[in-house]
Amino acid sequence: MEEEKIPTRADIPDSDKWDLTHLFSDVGKWNEDVEWITRTYPRITEWKDRVAESPQTLAKVLEFEKQLDLKIERVYHFASLQLAEDSAKNDYLSRIGQLQNLMTKLAEASAFVVPEIQAIDDGRWEKFIADPILKDWKIPLHKIRRMRPHVLSEREERLLALGAAALDGYDDAFSQLTNVDMKFGVLIDGDGREKPLTQSTYSSFLLKRDRDLRERAFNQFYEEFKDHQFTLAASLGYSVKADAFRARARNFPSALEASLFKDDVPIAVYDGLINAVREGIPPLLRYYELRRRVLDLDQLRAYDTYVPLVPEIETHIGFDDAINKVISSLAPLGQEYTRTLADGLRGRWCDRYETKGKRSGAFSSSSYQAPPYILMNYKEDVFADVYTLAHEAGHSMHTWFSAKSQLFQNYDYPIFLAEVASTFNEELLTHFLLEETSDPKMRAYIINRQIDDIRGTLYRQTMFAEFEKVIHAIEEAGGALTLEVFKGEYRKLLEAYVGNAMAIDPSLDLECLRIPHFYHAFYVYKYATGLSAAVTLSQRVLSGEAGAVEKYLGFLKSGGSKFPLETLRDAGVDMRTAEPINRTIALFEKRLSELEALL
């Protein structure tokens, strides 16, 4: 039997890898910048007890920190991308560790700055902020002052800074365990060939027509998680404890409210999302029943929910063809957008394929003075990867427009907005692909893909968001977060979101331990709100509504200059209401009716 091996980075051409020389031409240059930061950052203490001296002094402190932050962002960007290339390489691990230690020292040294800004009384502060020398800093200073009730004394802030790296240890443990130590073995396909099972290839197996292969992939994959379930549960438990600790330390009622406060998002928006999606579950159950009938199954199971319902369509799309499709679909956004993205994707912004030790999944990662890089693990036989490319391109172009239009201190937009730009691109891609074909089978395939996208992004991520809320509430009420508690709470949600439409395998309870975002809590709800906002904005652009493109590009350019709900309101979406969520559920129902007719 022939075994298909995962290539090393040396096995693939440079044209398929990202070009990190835009950050540093070599590691020597990286070391020079790290040495500069190490040598320079102690000078911040020159302003201790002087930050509130005058607007001019405050401006000097902020500009000094800005120069440090520019360097730190750049060196960390480079080191994190290298680590994503190979999570087991000691040099890359050492650089990240070195930077984590350096940033802890820097945070400790500068811990006095924010408390001193906070200590300025309101009367004096009005005079400070009116001074022209601080005009470029009004937005970040407003955000700092808003945190006054949650900023601690200098000594307390120093202790939190010292403990930051240790408190985040659970995330590193989870990443190393799942990306490096865990081994999923190989599977023998219908042709007798051995194929490696990894976190990246798992999705490929779930798309195969061979149900026996899908079932074996599912069971073998989760068997490895079962072998490590107590370690994973401990990691997730300490993640929740760290969130609760930080929230209590900063005088927030809960970890959820602490997370939402930074973006000025009311808890009613989070709860409103869950309530609206819960009310919209009946169309999801109808879809599961359609899937069961079309696949001719007695019972639908988790490993049956990803295989395309149109068996005659098996796609093989090369990466360059994927680029062409994505660029063509984004034509409504204008030449500046499409030309910049095309040049970047063909000019090595993107690390294209899976290699040994490489981080699974996909992401876009950027810094102010460098290209917005994209990590992919692209598979030609996974149609969803074309969407993944469009998704990450949305993040990258959001960053590109923001960095071009905003000052460094205002360019970094919150995740709440990031997921709008990425899913907006997916909506345009679906529209383009449907316009491109008149083949009923291909149309059914694409519609099926959009339905699954809404299912995965709106329904599934909202279920995840509810799980995060539940487990944090248990911790904050003094409950114990054991393995059985995690599995039990997750099963309750599975039953609520799939009802009797799907048989729930016991192994599926372990899914709650393998989702990376659970180790960065209260992130996933932004996928659901982002999709809902993106559906609304994309429908306006595609309908040719006057000013819709300009408003959308204005949204991309705004960066972090406003709070996210205000930014979206200016673009034409009110996320304080259920209307965008209901519009997305309506699109799901519309596409489901089309799919039922086509099949």
**For 34-89, what is each residue's pLDDT tens digit?**
999 999 999 999 999 999 999 999 999 999 999 999 999 999 999 999 999 998 88
Sign of torsion over alpha carbons 172, 202, 384, 495: negative
At 412 the pLDDT is 95
Q: Which residues pair with 350 in a beta bridge?
A: 374
Q: How far is CA 267 from the centre of its chain?
A: 20
At 117 the pLDDT is 95
What pTM was computed for the model? Answer: 0.84
Ranges of residues in the chain whose predicted pLDDT is under 50: 1-3
At 4 the pLDDT is 64
At 426 the pLDDT is 92
At 152 the pLDDT is 85
Query: Counting beta carbons within 10 angstroms of the beta carbon of residue 149, is it exposed (0 to 12), middle (13 to 18) or buried (19 or more)?
Result: exposed
Q: Which residues are catalytic?
A: 392
User: Domains along the chain?
Assistant: 18-167 (1.20.140.70)
At 308 the pLDDT is 85
Q: Which residues in 79-91 are b (16+ Cβ under 10 Å) and which e?
A: bbbbbbbbbeeee
At 555 the pLDDT is 97
Name every residue whose Cβ is closer than 8 Å to that of residue 544 and which is 6 or more positions away in sequence: none
Query: Counting beta carbons within 10 angstroms of the beta carbon of residue 395, is it exposed (0 to 12), middle (13 to 18) or buried (19 or more)?
Result: buried
Asked if residues 342 and 327 have their Cβ atoms less than 8 Å apart, the reply is: yes
Q: pLDDT tens digits, residue range 221-264? A: 999 999 999 999 999 999 999 999 999 999 999 999 999 999 99
